[in-house]
Structures are given as C-alpha cells and as structure tokens.
Structure 1
Amino acid sequence: MNAWPNPFIEQRADPFILRHQDHYYFIASVPEYDRLEIRRAASLDGLRETQAVVVWRKPHSGPMSQLIWAPELHHVDGRWYIYFAASHTQALDAAGMFQHRMFVLECADADPLAGCWVEKGQITTPLDTFALDGTTFLHQDRRWYLWAQKAPDIAGNSNLYLAEMANPWTLKSAPVLLSKPELEWECRGFLVNEGPAVITHGDRLFVSYSASATDENYCIGLLWIPLQADPMQPENWRKSALPVFCTNKQNRQFGPGHNSFTQTPDGQDVLVYHARNYTQIEGDPLYDPNRHTRLQAIHWQENGMPDFGSPAPDTA
C-alpha cells in the first residue's frame, strides 16, 4: 500500500524531489510554464502543505522567455543548481519541433529559497537542436550530465545522451548516445526518449526514462549498467524490452512518466512521477494542467532489478 495520498500534489508535472540533509525539496513544471518555484519540508508528507517559493521568473524576451519545462534542483560542491529547459518562442520550427535548449541557475547561498539565483547560461552540446530534461549525478568519482536531445540524422523527437561535466554548467566530454526510440512502446504518437532519472541499487546503476506522446501512451522504460563498467561505452548498457511503468486503465491512471527518485528516512526508495486520471484531453496534451505529482514505493527483486508495480488508483 502507498503511504501517500494520490494525487500527492495536484497540477505539477515533471516532478523532482531532492532529499538533502534534513529536508526534502520539491520542484516541478507549473501549468503556466512561466516560473521556477521550490517547496521545502522536513518530511515528504510536509511537501504537500508547505508554501511554494518562487525563486525565478522568465524574462519577457530572450532564449529563456518561453515554456519553462521540467526543472531539477541539485546540490553540487556546496552550491545549489536548477537545471531546466526553455525556449525563445512558443512557435514550432520547420520540422514541427519546439525550440528548447537547456539552462542552469546557480545559488551560492545556504538557503535556496531565500538566496540569490544567478543565470549561468545555456548548457551547450555539439548539436544545436531541441534539448531538454537535463539531470546530473556523481558516479565513479566523476560528475555526469544526462539529457534528451534531437539528432538530425535519427528519426523522432529526442534521444538520451550522457557526457562527463567540467563544472555544473559545462560539458567536458563528447556525448554518448545511450538510447533512442526504437521499440513499439517508445514510438506511440511521437518517437520520444526523455526525462531520464538515475538510481543505484546493489551492483547496478539504473536510468529510467519516459517514452512516446505525453497522453495515455506515455510510459517509463529502463536502462542499466554494472557500477564498475564504463558508462561511456554504449555496449555496456542494457535496455528493457518492455516498459516498466505504464497506463493502468482499471485504476484510471493514464500516461505515468517523467519521474525522479527519492528515499524515505528509513531508506525506502520512492518513485516520483506524474499521471492523469482521464484521457479526454481537449487540445494539445502538453497544455492540459492535470498531470498530477504522485508517489509510489519501489520494491527490489531478488535479482537486483526494480519492481515499480503499477500506478495506484486515486485515493479519497
């Protein structure tokens, strides 16, 4: 049984929860796509009731002035960083794609809710194309950046790439392609691999990611690699043949995805994700505000693989 109400927080898509020292921090896309706000609480449950603090608003013009998507909050080397995607326009390009790039804010103050946030600019990659959903993690004593981006020579909207970082806003190595939409369940509506998230367990590092269109077809896939293997060698990675978390019509949970991971104080791993409880969406699913944040415990099988289960129904 889930220990949390479902939905956990309403109208917050692309949810990210960071457990840092004695507090939990929550950040997500807001329906207006116009600002970055953070919640902080001493417990997971407390995130539901605490007041969100707006730490940054989009400017009126420029490369970060439209469609602020999928922020993540990280604490790196004593400073706070927010990674997010933004565009200079809401218009699609000639290929029918949004025109997002990835950006970083930095806060050197101890309190990210009250501190000063400085724009560090765009995270540039070798491809000047649609890019989003950047996350960072420490592995093998090196800092890594993992993100989704369009490649002109690969069909679809986005693939997953990995690179080592020189600092929290600059890539150090050439990117390596980890996954592209190629399986049937990754190509429903749109060919998409996006929203990567990292978790380690036992002797493996796992990367979850979201696939297909953002309606009821949205689902979560899984990559994994031995902890000691070289992550820059694509042949060291394995990929799930089927989604590991997807729509449950009986429970009326549709399009679960864009997840992150956190832990309870006693070490229980928790899947943080969004999903809708209906499919009758008017207009573009991207602008439907009811992708609610939800939490669900992860169980680990004897073979070391995660069991995400199935999206639980809404509670009263």
Structure 2
Amino acid sequence: MKSIFRLFVLLCAFACNAQQKTSFRNPLMSSGADPWVTYKDGYYYYMHTVGNHLELWKTANMAKLGEAPHKNIWTPPASGSFSKEIWAPEIHFLRGKWYVYFSADDGDNQHHRIYVLENSSPDPMKGSWEMKGKVSDPADKWAIDASIFEHKQKLYMIWSGWEGDKNGEQDIYIAEMKDPLTITGQRVRISRPVFDWETHGDLNDPNLPHVNVNEGPEILKHGNKLFLCYSASACWTDFYALGMLVADGNSNLLDSTSWKKSTKAMFMQSPENGVFAPGHNSFFTSPDGKENWILYHANDNPGDGCGGKRSPRMQPFTWGKDGMPVFGKPVSVKTELRIL
C-alpha cells in the first residue's frame, strides 16, 4: 500500500508541475524581426527573419524560446532570384506536409517574390527541405510577407504587394490556392493605406522607399469571424502599428467588400512602457487552448529603426463582449508574465 501511495503522490506532483506556469519577461530573444510560430503535437515551431538563411526553433514552452534547440534548415544559393534579402519566413503544416514560405530577391528589392520549401518528415527539424519554387498569382508583382490559412476546406494566401511595378505603396492581397504550392485565379486587393496612422514614412530617403505601408498580414479566427491583422506605416518609424480587417466566416473572402477595416490602430507604440514600433505579429494558444497570445517584434527605444534591434515579444490577449480581440498595450520589459 505504501508503494501505491508513493506512486499516487508522484503522479499528482507530476500533474501539478505540468500545469505550473512559467514566469518570464520580454523580449524572448535579444533580436528577431517578423516572428512566427505554429503548434503541433506538443511543440511550438518558431521562425523569424535572419536575412541570409532560414532558421527553425522547436520548444514545448514559448517562455523558454531563447533556450530552445534550433538549426539552419536552408541556405540559399550564392546567386539567383531567391539568394538575397530572405524575409519573414513562416512554417505551416498543410495536408500532411511541412511548408516554409518566405520572400527573397536577387539583391534588388524590386525583384522580391514569394518562395516555398517542402518537407514530408513528421518532425520539421528532421528530414530534408526541398525548394519548390516561386508561388505567384498571374500578375506576378512585387510580393513579401506571405501567410497561409485554411477556411471551409479551402486554402488561401495573403501577402503584401505592389499594385503595379512602381514602389511607393504596399497593399494587402488575398488569393485562393488549389494546393500549398499553387495559387489559382487572380489576386484581390483587400486593404491599402488610407488612414493617417498607416502613412508614416519618408520617401525622400532613397534607402527608405515606402511611405504608405500595409504588410505582414496574419489571420486570427474566433467564432464565425476572421480577423486579419496587418502592420501599417514604415517599419523604420516608431509609428509602426497593427491594423485589422474583419470578415464574416460565411462571406466570400475573395470579395474585397467582405473585409471591413478598423479606422483605428489595434496595437501601437507605448512610450510609457518603453515599447516602440510593435508589429509583424502572429498568434498562438497555450497547449490546452485556453490562453490566447500575440507574438510580435518591437524596439526598446525610439528611433531604433527597422534592423537588428527589433526583438520578439509576446503577451496574452482577451476577447471583448462584441467578439473582437482586445490586445491592450505592449507590455514593458519590466513586466513579469506567466504562461503554461
């Protein structure tokens, strides 16, 4: 009986420890722009922009991301259309395989397009990643920041791109996919910068070409609504912030009128908390699905710009009585947070 009792105590202790929350403070790592995470089979798989290759992290606890094992899963060729400026990678598990979508060019920003890798291994840290080529709609215009989501058994890609061949404005587009590698049909523009908080930038500096920016689109589902969060204004300004589009789950997502745009920014800089230019986010839940978290990058100081000083951060968010997400303000690096 004593041995059975001891076993019972050990099992209870294990169960209690498994539910204990981990305390942490932002940032999760000292550097890392455009953070993305997905969850599968007890592990979070995380990526951010490294610039010259693709790095993948694996962890059971996002609070311990900085300690997580990681590896270089792909190095680009020395030259060619996808050899330089590798931005905003996202890893997705779609229809039985892993895919990583990212944007890249040949060293000329005007040639940025979206590319995809495929891996059939159950664990994306293993197996081999195969370049499957460019993913493009028929227009084949400048494109970055691709994300994929599935709704009513259909796949969609959303991204940031140019309407024509001239730089100066980034808009949000959507297109349906017939499979994880192929867009079918024409792209549809569902958002362009129209409000003051979306148009901070400087066209007078040749190294900072955009002034009106919508980029980094990400989907969040809740109830029968789809929320598309995107980043607005130039990333090198402190005004970089999150905006949001909302669509009814039963609407035609390829109809631009299905997406209703918020007139105000949903998540923006907090000088009082020492957080500047928060943006390019993703979403995840705790393993039990009960906690909702937003993952984003931000700077510690005003004027830190759009470079290596951006660091990944996360914080919980809630839902309002109207069914809308409530993100609050970016929390200070001094604030202690807890996560399962």
TM-score by length of 2: 0.86
1:233–1:271: structure 2 CA closer, same or farther, 3 Å change rule?
Answer: same
Aligned with 2:182 (options 149, 170, 177):
170
Please name the residue that 1:80 is paired with.
98
2:154 is the counterpart of 1:142: yes
2:111 is the counterpart of 1:99: yes
Tell me the distance in 1 between the aligned counterparts of 2:198 and 2:300.
Answer: 21
Please name the residue that 2:52 is paired with.
34
Report Cα offsets for 1:272-313 as digits up to 9, x if no partner.
0000011234xxx33x20110000111100010011100001
SS at match of 1:48: helix
After TM superposition, give the deviation of residue 170 of structure 1 in Å. Answer: 0.8
1:154–1:57: structure 2 CA closer, same or farther, 3 Å change rule?
Answer: closer
Name structure 2 gaps, 5 residues minimum: 1-21, 202-210, 336-340
SS at match of 1:185: helix
Tell me the distance in 2 between the aligned counterparts of 1:305 and 1:156.
Answer: 32
Tell me the distance in 2 between the aligned counterparts of 1:151 and 1:76.
Answer: 28
2:193 is the counterpart of 1:181: yes
Report Cα offsets for 1:87-143 as digits up to 9, x if no partner.
101x45xxxxx4311000000112211210000001122333321011111101111
After TM superposition, give the deviation of residue 155 of structure 1 in Å. Answer: 7.9
Please name the residue that 2:204 is paired with.
none
SS at match of 1:231: coil
Tell me the distance in 1 between the aligned counterparts of 2:87 and 2:57.
Answer: 17
SS at match of 2:273: coil
Aligned with 1:43 (options 38, 49, 61):
61
Please name the residue that 1:250 is paired with.
272
After TM superposition, give the deviation of residue 156 of structure 1 in Å. Answer: 3.5
Tell me the distance in 2 between the aligned counterparts of 1:48 and 1:247.
Answer: 24
SS at match of 2:272: coil
Aligned with 1:231 (options 250, 253, 256):
253
After TM superposition, give the deviation of residue 3 of structure 1 in Å. Answer: 5.2
State how many pairs are aligned.
303
Q: CA RMSD for the aligned pairs? A: 1.7
SS at match of 1:62: coil
Tell me the distance in 2 between the aligned counterparts of 1:204 and 1:88.
Answer: 39
TM-score by length of 1: 0.92
Aligned with 1:11 (options 31, 37, 41):
31
1:153–1:39: structure 2 CA closer, same or farther, 3 Å change rule?
Answer: closer
1:155-234 map, 5 Å: 156-189=168-201, 190-214=211-235, 215-234=237-256
Structure that is richer in helix per residue = 2
After TM superposition, give the deviation of residue 203 of structure 1 in Å. Answer: 2.0
Tell me the distance in 1 between the aligned counterparts of 2:30 and 2:249.
Answer: 36
Please name the residue that 1:95 is paired with.
none
Runs of 4+ in 1 over 4 A off after TM superposition: none
Tell me the distance in 1 between the aligned counterparts of 2:153 and 2:130.
Answer: 27
Please name the residue that 1:296 is paired with.
315
